[in-house]
Structure 1
Amino acid sequence: MTHRMKFWGRQRAFYEAQLRLTLAAKKGLGDPVLGELVVLRASQLNRCAFCIDMHVGNLREAGVAQQRIDLLPAWEEAGALYSERERAALALTEAVTVLTDGFVPDEVYERAAAHFDESELAHLIAVIVAINNWNRVNVAVRQPPGQEL
């Protein structure tokens, strides 16, 4: 695939706003590994090679076991490899990212709400929304993995 354009360079104000949005969302989430698992899972669902490459690297740098990274697409079947809190966050990530039914099911939202207080849940939703923004732009312009934005 051919890189279509240097979107982020042509939209610096949008890039800076998107970066501030992402940092603000992650700031209240607390656990940086949880945040990286969430953004990696959304990026996998959106097939964003640039973001997958970046967030796999971030998880490795954070010392996350390779097995946890490798099995993220099958987190529901991976048993205790992911905590209940992580599993709730990943379920919410999938529901918010793939809105095929047009809504986030109550049981998915309630599962997340059982593991995150209201402030944390708001930050979790914000992180999911922010990574979906990054993914959509990067997929649209075919941003190559490993290159500067």
Structure 2
Amino acid sequence: MSRTQTLDREVGRAMSALSAAAKRGLGDPALAELVMIRASQLNHCAFCLDMHLRAARGNGESEERIALLDAWAEAGDRYSERERAAPALTEAVTVLTDRFVPDEVYDTAARHFDQGELARLIGLVAVVNGWNRLMVSRRVPPGGYRP
């Protein structure tokens, strides 16, 4: 059996439902795509990067902002404070370098997202990390996503 064929349909549907719920709660599809791109960069998931780059472009995201996302903290005013808080939290939740999300990162995000949005943002980061792990472990190549 090919690695790319080992995703259970029920698991895929559940992951898709969680992803859709988290995105709806953020209300900003472009920001959701930036979050998913950033996590996918950190996790080296080519399939998810390809998919979310296409979606970001489809939502009107500029090539400049997409290209600078890997260096968002140094990109100056290319991203709003809210947009900088999202990848900071994404990185902290994805990497968990210190085994927890630093208070400063969480508090900054909490200033820019209300309680419901923050819960959805963390949910979105969790689900994209799950998708990244499913795709990377199965070595799913980029280019196969069809909306």
Q: Indicate the TM-score class for this superposition, using the shorter chain for normalisation.
A: over 0.9
The letter for the 2-side match of 1:68 is R
Alignment partner, residue 12 of structure 2: 15
Alignment partner, residue 48 of structure 2: 51
Deviation of 1:121 (Å) = 0.3
SS of 1:146's equivalent in the other structure is coil
Alignment partner, residue 144 of structure 1: 141
Q: Give, in whole Å, the separation in 2 of the partners of 1:43 and 1:148.
A: 15
Structure 2 residue ranges without an equivalent (≥5): none
Please state if 1:100 is matched with 2:93: no
SS of 2:26's equivalent in the other structure is coil
SS of 1:5's equivalent in the other structure is helix
Q: Percent identity?
A: 59
1:23 and 1:80, CA in 2 relative to 1: closer, same or farther beyond 3 A? same
Output one character per residue of 1:47-77: Cα deviation in whole Å (capped at 9) or x when no partner: 0000000111111111111000001000000
Alignment partner, residue 122 of structure 2: 125
SS of 2:99's equivalent in the other structure is coil
TM-score (normalised: structure 1): 0.94
SS of 2:100's equivalent in the other structure is coil
Alpha carbon RMSD of aligned pairs, Å? 1.2
The letter for the 1-side match of 2:71 is A
Q: Which runs of 4+ in 1 moved over 4 A?
A: none
Structure 1 residue ranges without an equivalent (≥5): none
Map of 1:35-50 to 2, 5 A cutoff?
35-50=32-47
SS of 1:114's equivalent in the other structure is helix
Please state if 1:74 is matched with 2:71: yes
SS of 1:71's equivalent in the other structure is helix
